[in-house]
A and B are shown apart, each in its own frame.
Chain A
């Protein structure tokens, strides 16, 4: 079984994230990492591959430093990686991203039986790329999986809603996006870290994929970030001193703020 996992290199959410002058995500000033939500997809792929004698390919689009995200996934145990790296991709929206991912997946040999993704990226948090990608590849899309089994040429997926859970089946090949409830991603083992450097990583450009540079990047994006501003700093809390009337002061406060 051949599995492709699409992953994203994102700015560390623990750091002070900001934007560049062109209103795209600032990647230079902040440390990046493999998106935590994608680690669940990598873990799920590894589990399926281990049970089915499969092979896991990690695919990312991003600048040079995005190689770190691939390295982490290879250290976890993935077999090979593909890095689509082309300056023209800078500023691409979800539509262009799904186009490049689709072209890269179509170039893979052998073709995957299963495409896995996280439920969203931790920076953009749109969660639309998986279905766009499935549409471009002509694959059934099953999203937000919190449980996934593969058997007899089918995937069976549990989707947990607020009030009920659904079980959905799709025939392979298929695309599945997974949630952070599906597993507990492993830590790379020391042996995995040592083995990762010997694993093959292909680097492809837009030309390698036959994608017209006009179709991607900031100028081709259907949406643009017009402006941004930092969240205002938290206001100092109001301290109510109890001088025998603490209860009524509290009631007044709650009333004024329409909590009562």
Chain B
């Protein structure tokens, strides 16, 4: 995409976030749902397909472009980007990177338009950080497969039309080989979607349990047309997703700093603006500095991702740093707001709860550290 066009995309998304989504944040918090009008506008704009390749009607953004877009999306409630996050991200990329030509042709244009919502069903109670321990299995049955098992914390499960279901087709539990992935329609017989999970924050986003009780699917649903591609597909999707999440964290941290600056310059103690107290200034300066570091890190990691020089270590490092950084910024933002920061009426109270998730999903901070440490000690 030409630079001028991409700047128009960024400007449009920035306007939409600030003019439409931000004013709806309280409504989203109250209803725990993204209003239909916002969902339809997001569809019409093309937000369900920014990362889907151009030949399948998406925008085909490079990683360097995607992270800049994500920083704009991050400036509001994380549940907004979650609405179309799985189509572009973890679920959509499974088909985009591993699907057969027929699967790509069939699904990707529908993901890009938002006609179908795709969900990524990997995590299980005993197999979250380490998917190799998954219990969900798929057994051959005539010319198809039968899937049994259960997944938890599945984003967009209650909105999904199709699930990317990871299931063991061979091999022992605890090994990465023998995990396959299937595109399973949400209305398949035996597939049950639980109620929306009540969560600490990120209200308006949807997660739920998904269980499979003898769910029979055609051979054509096996992603890539071959067994065993699941673990690699999951890891590739997650690495890209981690960089995206890091960028979302930068956007949210910036929003909290903007809120804090506005608060600190408008509020007074006696006749002094609280922004003129040096201890408050210290908190604002630390936030700015850490956000600057996070932004620089994300942009550099995205450049490496695009050049193919690092698609694994840098995303983990960026996700680790930025998800921890946004937590520190959230804590200071509440502190700068004083007592008001603990009240539902101010956005930073909500963001403080929202931000906590970033250190947990798309791989916990601990998993990122293990990935980084393994990579940097392997060759020594």
Contact = CB atoms under 8 A, between A and B. Distances in A.
Given A187-B15, A187-B16, A193 B44 contact: no
B45 A189 contact: yes
Contact of B46 (A71, A190, A196, A197): A190
A188 interface: yes
A194 interface: yes
A199 interface: no
4 shortest A-B CB distances, which residue pairs?
A: A190-B46, A193-B8, A189-B45, A190-B59
Interface in B1-27: 1-2, 5, 8-9, 12, 15-16
A196 B5 CA distance: 9
B2 A187 contact: no
B8 A75 contact: yes
Interface in A65-84: 71, 75
Nearest to B43: A189
A189 B46 CA distance: 6
Interface string A165-193: 00000000000000000000011111101
Contacts of A190: 9, 12, 45-47, 49-50, 59
Contacts of B8: 71, 75, 188, 193, 196
Interface residues of A, number: 12
Contacts, number: 34
A189 B5 contact: no
B12 A193 contact: yes
A197 B5 contact: yes
B267 interface: no
Contacts of A75: 8, 12
Contacts of A196: 8
A194 to B, nearest CB: 6
Given A71-B8, A75-B8, A197-B5, A191 B15 contact: no
16 contacts: A75-B8, A186-B44, A187-B15, A187-B41, A187-B44, A188-B12, A189-B44, A189-B46, A190-B9, A190-B45, A190-B47, A190-B59, A191-B46, A193-B8, A193-B9, A197-B5
Contacts of A186: 44
A49 to B, nearest CB: 17
Contacts of A194: 1, 5
B96 to A, nearest CB: 17
Residue from A188, A190, A194 with most neighbouring chain B CB atoms (10 Å) = A190
B2 A197 contact: yes
Given A75-B12, A187-B16, A189-B46, 19 more contacts: A71-B8, A75-B8, A186-B44, A187-B15, A187-B44, A187-B45, A188-B8, A189-B44, A190-B9, A190-B12, A190-B45, A190-B49, A190-B50, A190-B59, A193-B12, A194-B1, A194-B5, A196-B8, A197-B2
